């Protein structure tokens, strides 16, 4: 990369509450581990929670989760705890001014003591997202403009409060989240086991995973029973990778219904069940998701960390009971505790169609209920449960213990890997290329209601040695990468779009501030007509197919610009046409450059001046003649991408008081003209000035629109 000539004023345009996507590693504690419960008490408690859990169709149900997240909130820090739930959309905690509170072990959260706390309004993107997910609403009358959290779990249980934002600290990571600051919690039948709220991991926009902008999370749950004291683990972002050599089963998620709350769940394509080597006679349709009435869905198999035990549709539960009774025989009445061992109870196998099988050991579906008794911890969903959950299969957390479960929402798959979670060591989030650190940068937030500075944690290279030529960074201290890699600024902020608008290099009013937008407002500056082109990989390759100068199309084969693989002395590489904000001037493959130079020389004619010596410049004219002599250049993009018109001032530069010269070069010229760059076309930032460039990574599209960037 050659020397950049612009410093950017950063404007992070995202949801007002989500400043970046962190890679989190969170330790979890089982709710019963702190109570000194016996195995029998744990079993009974978990059984009651399973039945209560299934009695509601809401995606977040109270006091039924099994694992607790310890975290810190606010600035200065305040301790808090939350129950973890993959079927919840909301992060929430009680606050000090609550009028109806439940018992919690830690002091209540005091937003007035936090410098980072603020109440969100109806104008904030987080509130609008919550309204669409049925967890927030806008105030009326004297409360007009305020955003409230109101979640009804069933006819007798609800929470209410303000939608707020504050800084959350998980270990070494700090993130700003929108959450429910709950002032009233009507829990008629219990509390949250001393926790202060809930931590949702569902598909909704206000869940922890969604706010972090991540597409991956995983967990490894330690066993319920026994003397296990080691914590369980939740990983979000780049650190959510499988580790170890155990076999992995990966299955696709089932497409969710669009109706809330069913849009929140993680459905998997369960197709059958085996007990040992015997496959149960269960119709595959028993596990299908189906609409039973408008907006209500039944069936399907849902993964839910908040439900302790598995609940099977009755069509599967009855054959399971019958087959286990057949295989266990007389031992099924009062079996010895050793029935938990593999000598008597067979493994349970979940068949996911053609995607593979997950083998569950006996200890993942049988649980001790006393000193001499062990019972199957799988229940019929038809037991004391109303529609539509009485026809739904739920795979609870007990069945997922000692298993690393990885949710890859980007690829829409889930993976299971047997793991000793008591000794679990997270894999590193990718091979480091140097030393990385975490630190805080200031990003100005672009919000519909207010702007505030928020600290966001970014992993970056702390460079102790480099071999860059002196002055190659123009006095800057480093490089801010915007590529597709996991450690780029865009990726770490969890954004799928970014844009920039570069002010001209040379102008009389000394306006030098250009703008970079990341996230939700990246497309906000774009208006009217724009040319768009597909964009692939990183660097950002585009399908350039031809070039015109004025009305003359250059005689250049389209293949000269195509993305293609090359064999180099150091291995394979790629060439093509890429857009690079770090390269000042444009370099064309030599066949295109020669055609451009020839055509421009023909059109300019005798007005052409002798270029300055030793400057690698081929074409020059009198500075005052550029506007009348130099034609615009037109970039033609294939794939339906359209044309981009490049004005003369975007590829000719005033060299001195009397002369202006073309600053498009041949990629085959110069000391660095080796494979693959000598066969690559690079569209540099000078050609992009006064043009709004929008990178929509979610849709794989790059848009160009002429703009007065000094007025953005």
The total of other beta-carbon atoms located within 10 Å of residue 319's CB is 19
Report cis status (omega within 30 of 0) of the bond before 89.
no
Q: Residue 617's pLDDT is what?
A: 86
pTM of the full structure? 0.54
- 340 token code pair: 């938990």
Q: Residue 55's pLDDT is what?
A: 36
Check if the beta carbon of residue 212 is closer than 8 Å to that of residue 21: yes
Tell me what the mean pLDDT of segment 604-624 comes to.
88
- 487 token code pair: 């450690």
Q: Residue 229's pLDDT is what?
A: 66
Check if the beta carbon of residue 170 is closer than 8 Å to that of residue 26: yes
Higher-confidence residue: 191 or 310? 310
Burial class (CB in 10 A: 0-12, 13-18, 19+), 564: exposed
CA–CA dist 515, 525 (Å, integer): 11
Domain 17-217+226-234 identical in fold to domain 242-418: yes
Contact partners, residue 568, CB within 8 Å, separation at least 6: 675, 676
Tell me what the mean pLDDT of segment 10-26 comes to.
41
Contact partners, residue 179, CB within 8 Å, separation at least 6: 90, 91, 92, 93, 163, 164, 165, 166, 168, 197, 206
Check if the beta carbon of residue 165 is closer than 8 Å to that of residue 177: yes
Check if the beta carbon of residue 518 is closer than 8 Å to that of residue 12: yes
The total of other beta-carbon atoms located within 10 Å of residue 346's CB is 17
Q: Residue 52's pLDDT is what?
A: 43
Q: Residue 179's pLDDT is what?
A: 97
CA–CA dist 618, 587 (Å, integer): 13
Has residue 639 got a pLDDT over 60?
A: yes
Has residue 334 got a pLDDT over 50?
A: no
Q: Residue 339's pLDDT is what?
A: 37
Confidence of residue 78 (pLDDT cuts 50, 70, 90): very high
Tell me what the mean pLDDT of segment 176-189 comes to.
84
Alpha-carbon distances, residue 286 vs 271, 298, 392 (angstroms): 8, 10, 9
Tell me what the mean pLDDT of segment 481-485 comes to.
80
Tens of pLDDT, residue by residue over 505-555, are 776 555 567 888 887 666 655 555 666 655 544 457 888 999 999 999 999
Alpha helices for 410-533 (secondary structure H): 489-492
Q: Residue 408's pLDDT is what?
A: 93
Mean pLDDT of the residues in the chain? 77
Q: Residue 259's pLDDT is what?
A: 84
Q: Residue 20's pLDDT is what?
A: 43
3 state SS of 592: helix
Has residue 672 got a pLDDT over 70?
A: no
Tell me what the mean pLDDT of segment 416-429 comes to.
80
Higher-confidence residue: 428 or 92? 92
- In percent, the amount of the chain with pLDDT more than 90 equals 25
Kindly list the domain boundaries of the chain, sorted by start residue.
17-217+226-234, 242-418, 525-711
Q: Residue 578's pLDDT is what?
A: 87
CA–CA dist 537, 556 (Å, integer): 25
Q: Residue 692's pLDDT is what?
A: 84
Higher-confidence residue: 307 or 399? 399
Check if the beta carbon of residue 545 is closer than 8 Å to that of residue 638: yes
Tens of pLDDT, residue by residue over 144-166, are 899 999 887 655 568 899 999 99
Has residue 377 got a pLDDT over 70?
A: yes
Burial 219-252 (b: 16+ CB within 10 A, else e): bbbbbbbeebeebbbbbbbbbbbbeeeeeebbbe
3 state SS of 468: coil
197-200 and 78-85 beta bridge pairing: parallel
Least trusted range by pLDDT, from 439-443, 456-460, 565-569, 693-697: 439-443
Has residue 472 got a pLDDT over 90?
A: no
Q: What is the DSSP letter of 502?
A: B
- 211 token code pair: 């706010």
Q: Could you tell me which of 25, 30, 368, 375 has the C-alpha nearest to residue 193?
A: 30
Alpha-carbon distances, residue 365 vs 220, 306, 360 (angstroms): 17, 16, 8
Tell me what the mean pLDDT of segment 178-193 comes to.
78
Check if the beta carbon of residue 560 is closer than 8 Å to that of residue 589: yes
Task: Give the fold, CATH level 3, of 242-418.
Answer: Cathepsin D, subunit A; domain 1 (2.40.70)
Tens of pLDDT, residue by residue over 250-309, are 999 999 988 878 888 889 999 999 999 999 999 888 889 988 888 888 888 888 877 777
Confidence of residue 83 (pLDDT cuts 50, 70, 90): confident
Least trusted range by pLDDT, from 178-192, 454-468, 497-511: 454-468
Contact partners, residue 72, CB within 8 Å, separation at least 6: 78, 79, 80, 168, 169, 170
Q: Residue 116's pLDDT is what?
A: 96
Tell me what the mean pLDDT of segment 191-218 comes to.
88
H/E segment holding residue 24: strand 24-30
Q: Residue 108's pLDDT is what?
A: 96
- 474 token code pair: 């123009």
Alpha-carbon distances, residue 130 vs 20, 150, 510, 526 (angstroms): 19, 10, 44, 26
Q: Residue 68's pLDDT is what?
A: 82
Q: Residue 342's pLDDT is what?
A: 41
How many degrees, rounded to 5, is the angle at CA 684 between CA 553 and CA 609? 60
Higher-confidence residue: 122 or 17? 122
Confidence of residue 356 (pLDDT cuts 50, 70, 90): confident
Alpha-carbon distances, residue 127 vs 134, 180, 414, 521, 704 (angstroms): 10, 11, 30, 16, 31
Q: Residue 45's pLDDT is what?
A: 53
Tens of pLDDT, residue by residue over 219-242, are 888 887 765 567 888 888 888 888
Alpha-carbon distances, residue 521 vs 91, 347, 638, 689 (angstroms): 24, 52, 28, 20
The CATH code for residues 525-711 is 2.40.70.10
Confidence of residue 449 (pLDDT cuts 50, 70, 90): very low
Q: Could you tell me which of 293, 292, 273 has the C-alpha nearest to residue 283?
A: 273
Side-chain half-sphere CA neighbours of 348 within 13 A:
25
Tens of pLDDT, residue by residue over 30-53, are 455 545 555 555 544 544 444 443
Has residue 600 got a pLDDT over 90?
A: yes
Confidence of residue 367 (pLDDT cuts 50, 70, 90): confident
3 state SS of 106: coil
Confidence of residue 85 (pLDDT cuts 50, 70, 90): confident
CATH 3.40.50.300 fits 17-217+226-234, yes or no: no
- 421 token code pair: 């979670």
Q: Residue 673's pLDDT is what?
A: 66
Tens of pLDDT, residue by residue over 95-133, are 999 888 888 889 999 999 999 999 999 999 999 988 766
């Amino acid at each position: 990369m050659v020397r950049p000539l612009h410093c950017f004023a950063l404007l992070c345009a995202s949801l007002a509450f989500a400043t970046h996507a962190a890679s989190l590693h969170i330790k979890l504690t089982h709710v019963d581990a702190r109570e000194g419960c016996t195995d029998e008490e744990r079993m009974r408690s978990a059984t009651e929670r399973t039945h209560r859990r299934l009695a509601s169709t809401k995606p977040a149900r109270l006091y039924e989760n099994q694992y607790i997240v310890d975290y810190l909130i606010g600035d200065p820090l305040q301790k808090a705890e939350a129950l973890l739930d993959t079927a919840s959309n909301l992060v929430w905690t009680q606050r000090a001014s609550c009028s109806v509170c439940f018992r919690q072990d830690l002091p209540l959260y005091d937003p007035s003591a936090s410098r980072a706390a603020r109440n969100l309004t109806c104008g904030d993107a987080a509130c609008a997202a919550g309204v669409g997910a049925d967890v927030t609403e806008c105030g009326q009358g004297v409360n007009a403009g305020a955003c409230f959290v109101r979640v009804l779990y069933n006819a007798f249980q609800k929470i209410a409060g303000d939608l707020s934002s504050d800084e959350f600290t998980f270990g070494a990571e700090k993130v700003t989240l929108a959450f429910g600051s709950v002032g009233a919690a009507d829990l008629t039948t219990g509390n949250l086991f001393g926790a202060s709220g809930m931590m949702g991991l569902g598909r909704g926009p206000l869940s922890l995973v969604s706010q972090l902008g991540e597409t991956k999370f995983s967990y490894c749950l330690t066993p319920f029973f026994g003397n296990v004291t080691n914590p369980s683990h939740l990983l979000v972002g780049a650190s959510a990778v499988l580790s170890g050599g155990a076999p992995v089963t990966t299955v696709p998620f089932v497409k969710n219904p669009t109706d809330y709350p069913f849009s929140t769940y993680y459905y998997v394509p369960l197709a059958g069940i085996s007990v040992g080597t015997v496959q149960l006679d269960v119709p595959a349709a028993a596990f299908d998701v189906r609409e039973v009435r408008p907006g209500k869905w039944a069936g399907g198999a849902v993964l839910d960390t908040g439900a302790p035990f598995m609940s099977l549709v009755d069509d599967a539960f009855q054959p399971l009971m019958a087959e286990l009774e057949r295989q266990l025989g007389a031992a099924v009445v009062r079996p010895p505790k050793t029935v938990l061992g593999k000598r008597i109870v067979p493994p349970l196998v979940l068949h996911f169609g053609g995607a593979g099988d997950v083998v569950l050991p006996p200890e993942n579906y049988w649980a001790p209920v006393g000193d001499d008794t062990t019972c199957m911890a799988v229940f019929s969903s038809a037991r004391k449960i109303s529609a539509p959950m009485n026809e739904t299969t739920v795979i609870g957390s007990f069945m997922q213990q000692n298993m690393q479960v990885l949710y890859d929402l980007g690829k829409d798959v889930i993976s299971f890997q047997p793991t000793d979670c008591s000794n679990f060591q997270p894999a590193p989030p990718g091979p480091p290329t140097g030393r990385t650190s975490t630190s805080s940068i200031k990003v100005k937030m672009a919000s519909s209601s207010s702007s505030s500075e928020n600290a966001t944690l970014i992993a970056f290279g702390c460079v102790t040695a480099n071999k860059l030529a002196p002055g190659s960074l123009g006095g800057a201290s480093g490089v801010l990468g915007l590529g597709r890699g996991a450690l780029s600024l865009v990726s770490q902020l969890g954004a799928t779009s970014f844009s920039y608008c570069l002010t001209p290099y040379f102008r009389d009013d000394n306006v030098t501030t250009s703008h970079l937008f990341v996230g939700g407002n990246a497309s906000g500056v774009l208006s009217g007509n724009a040319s768009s082109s597909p964009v692939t990989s990183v660097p950002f390759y585009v399908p350039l197919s031809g070039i015109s100068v004025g009305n003359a199309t250059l005689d250049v084969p389209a293949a000269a610009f195509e993305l293609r693989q090359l064999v180099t002395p150091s291995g394979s590489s790629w060439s093509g046409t890429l857009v690079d904000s770090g390269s000042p001037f444009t370099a064309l493959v030599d066949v295109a450059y020669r055609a451009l130079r020839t055509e421009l020389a023909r059109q300019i004619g005798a007005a052409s001046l002798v270029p300055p010596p030793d400057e690698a410049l081929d074409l020059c004219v009198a500075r005052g003649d550029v506007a009348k002599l130099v034609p615009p250049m037109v970039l033609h993009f294939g794939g339906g991408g359209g044309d981009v018109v490049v004005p003369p001032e975007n590829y000719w530069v005033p060299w001195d008081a009397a002369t202006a010269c073309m600053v498009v070069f041949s990629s085959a010229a110069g000391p660095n003209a080796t494979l693959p760059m000598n066969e690559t076309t690079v569209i540099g930032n000078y050609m992009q000035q006064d043009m709004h460039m929008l990178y929509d990574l979610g849709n794989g599209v790059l848009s160009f629109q002429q703009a007065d960037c000094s007025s953005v």
